[in-house]
Structure 1
Amino acid sequence: MVAAPSRRGRAAGDGADVRALADEIGSSLVRAIKEAAADDFGRVRNERALALSWYAFSLEYMEARWVQVAVKTRSETNDALCSITEAMLRRTRGRPDDELLRRALRNWAFVVPRPDVRKAPTEVRLALGWVARASRPLDDLLDPAVMRGVLQALRLKRDGTVAAAETQRRKRMTFVNAVRYAIELGQLRADPLANISWRITETVQQVDPRVVVNPVQARNLLCAVSYVGGYGRARGRRLVGLLAGMYYGGLRPAEAVAVTLPDCELPTEGWGSVVLHATRPSVGKKWTDSGQNHDLRGLKSRPPGGTRKVPLPHELVSLWRESVDTFGTADDGRLFFNEKGGIVGSTTYDRAWREARELALSPGLVGSPLAARPYDLRHSALSTWLNAGVDPTEVAERAGNSVEVLMTRYAKCLYGRQALANKRIDALLDEYN
């Protein structure tokens, strides 16, 4: 006969079972609480993402992007965000006129550090307040209809006409980068571009051959620049060497304005040279960290501190020596400067160039694309070197481009060169008549 367990033994066993059960229940409760908390956190986070407006997100994106990009890209990003933001506005009462809306966004919203809105004109404050209220949620981008509206806005200029392919490409890239940033931060749960079929016009990479001048035309244009403005102020004469550097040296405008005398070899005979190491792009003071109109940067497509040595033909050496003899140099050694010693702005040489074209070109050519912009002098320089039979690798090195870019964009015939080729072909054919 088996003895019954003692009362004390049953109590001890029952206690252990109760404690085990309590532990199990407690663990289950803890797991349930954690799962509920996780669900609540995810729901709250999703609600916050849904509540976040495109305008609020784009302000955050601009601030994060600002320190990562060059000053010109800052301006381009600002312009793209303005277009996207306007496309992401609901149709509600009180909308400001388009001009005020664009001015408020461009000059007060998408600038870092952001100006104190309390100091803005009343109409700007009201406009930005309306934008904050009318902006669609960021999550609305997942609606294909909204997305297509944004993409269509990036396709058009402000006057409603189709923008250049390069402008479309640049704005779309800004939008793509912003969307990726939102996904990275968990503020968008999916890629709104993934299922949208949208194509933009392919960017034309080639330089229009109609802009390229031959050496005679280039000399006439540079001579005409010296006659722009009065002789005393020498508005045009100060710019001859600067523009000549773009033609004879193939310099970019931002490189030419940054040339300093210590970096030059300007012999009395033969070829000289210049070592380029800096650029002074003209972008506007609200885009630069220094608050100046011109930023100080390194060379394009070169690592920080990179240099490029450019040979200078004697014709250019003579013009630069003449400029130094006549006007001296700026305090920091720059060869080309305005009357106050400052950096020559793009508007200054653009205006002088327009006047020079009217002096140097026939009426029929003034309205043509031939050398319509100072930058076309660089296009002409590279095309001239290629037409002279210079090895493309050497031309690319002097120009600061890759051989691929050079051959894609600059392998153009000089103005009138085709006619010479036709005569040679005619002469050959005539020999067999």
Structure 2
Amino acid sequence: MDPFTESGLEAAYLTWRMKDERLADVLLVMGWTGLRWGEVRSMQVANFVEVPTPGLMVRRSQPEGSPAKATKGRSMRRVPLADRVLSIVQELADGRTPHDLLFTSSGGSQLWCTATVRTLAWETTGQGRRLHDLRHTAVCLWLSRGVEPGTVQAWCGHESIATTNRYLHFLGTDADKAGLNKLNDGLGSAGGARDERNGA
């Protein structure tokens, strides 16, 4: 697992946009939604909903070289669209029919991994990551922003909360962060043993 930080994703996005704006937008959406590559390739305009809240209905996946099939967990899930990527998806859906592919190349054709990584110089701009690490990026982004693990589990389609909890071990919990902040705050309520003269 090698997720981008939120600022790292934004920096990479700016680099990708210089190479291909459409593909850069697709990868940014992946980094905010946790969609798998096969799910992105098969997502139709009809799967974009704005009521009651903006989101994508993940119903199928199409790995390269295979026909569309059920998603990995075999059940449909709803993934939210944060404001950061909502306008991108709205623009991609605008003026298209419900059965059209939502995410396509700049020329309007179905996405292919080889062409995408070549066009975006992924070997360099991905900084050693795989495209799948954009899914990990989304999960870490959600958890670091305080989304409850059970909600993240549903958004990801994880069959077990244990899978989601692996990300918490990777990130550290809010309790870990709060505890570290207390350790770094100076003298504790008991007076502590810190010597202010030498910072020890």
Q: TM-score range by the shorter chain?
A: 0.7 to 0.9
| 1:356 to 1:218, Cα distance in 2 relative to 1, 3 A | farther
Tell me which of 265, 280, 283 is aligned to 2:49. Answer: 265
Choose the corresponding residue for 1:220, options 1, 8, 11: 11
Task: Indicate which of 381, 392, 397 corresponds to 2:154.
Answer: 397
Structure-2 change in CA distance of 1:217 and 1:404 (3 Å): same
* Aligned counterparts of 2:169 and 2:120: Cα–Cα separation in 1: 24
Letter in 1 for 2:38: A
In the other structure, the counterpart of 1:408 is: 166
Residue ranges of structure 1 left out of the alignment (5+ in a row): 1-206, 229-235, 283-292, 415-419
How far has the Cα of 1:428 moved from its partner? 2.5
User: Equivalents in 2 of 1:339, 1:386: separation in Å?
Assistant: 32
CA distance 1:301–1:356, shift in 2 (3 Å): same
1:311 deviates by 1.4
* Rg larger for: 1
Structure-1 separation of matches of 2:178 and 2:36: 30
Higher helix share: 1
Of 131, 144, 147 in structure 2, the residue corresponding to residue 374 of structure 1 is 131
Tell me the distance in 2 between the aligned counterparts of 1:300 and 1:248. Answer: 19
Q: What amino acid maps onto 1:334 in structure 2? A: L
- 1:298 pairs with 2:65: no
Q: How does 1:33-432 map to 2 (within 5 A)?
A: 207=1, 211-228=2-19, 236-266=20-50, 272-282=54-64, 293-302=65-74, 306-324=75-93, 329=96, 332-338=99-105, 341-355=108-122, 357-358=124-125, 366=127, 369=128, 372-401=129-158, 402-408=160-166, 411-413=169-171, 424-430=181-187, 432=192
TM-superposition CA deviations, 1:365-416 (whole Å, max 9, x none): x4xx4xx1221111111122222332221111100112122223664229xx
Q: 2:98, 2:105 → 1: CA distance?
A: 12
Question: Can you list the C-alpha shifts for 1:61-114, whole angstroms capped at 9, x where unaligned?
Answer: xxxxxxxxxxxxxxxxxxxxxxxxxxxxxxxxxxxxxxxxxxxxxxxxxxxxxx
CA-based RMSD of the aligned residues comes to 3.1
Q: Which has the higher contact order (CA 8 A, sep 6+)?
A: 2
Q: Judging changes above 3 Å, is the alpha-carbon distance between structure 1 residues 390 and 411 closer, same or farther for their aligned structure 2 residues?
A: farther
TM-score (normalised: structure 1) = 0.38
Question: Structure 1 residue 240: deviation in Å?
Answer: 2.5
Q: Please, what TM-score do these two structures have when normalized by structure 2?
A: 0.77
Q: Which one-letter code corresponds to 2:102 in the other structure? A: L
Task: Indicate conservation of the 8 Å contact 2:37/2:132, yes or no.
Answer: yes
Question: Measured at CA, do residues 266 and 353 of structure 1 come closer, stay the same or move farther in structure 2, by a change above 3 Å?
Answer: farther
Q: State the SS of the aligned residue for 2:100.
A: coil
Runs of 4+ with deviation above 6 angstroms = 420-423
CA distance in 2, matches of 1:227, 1:244: 14
Q: Answer 1 or 2: which has greater strand percent.
A: 2
Q: Aligned pair in 2 of structure 1 residues 311, 297: CA closer, same or farther (>3 Å)?
A: same
For residues 281 and 301 of structure 1, what CA distance do their matches in structure 2 show? 14
CA contact (8 A) 1:265 1:273 kept: yes
Gaps of 5+ in 2: 195-200
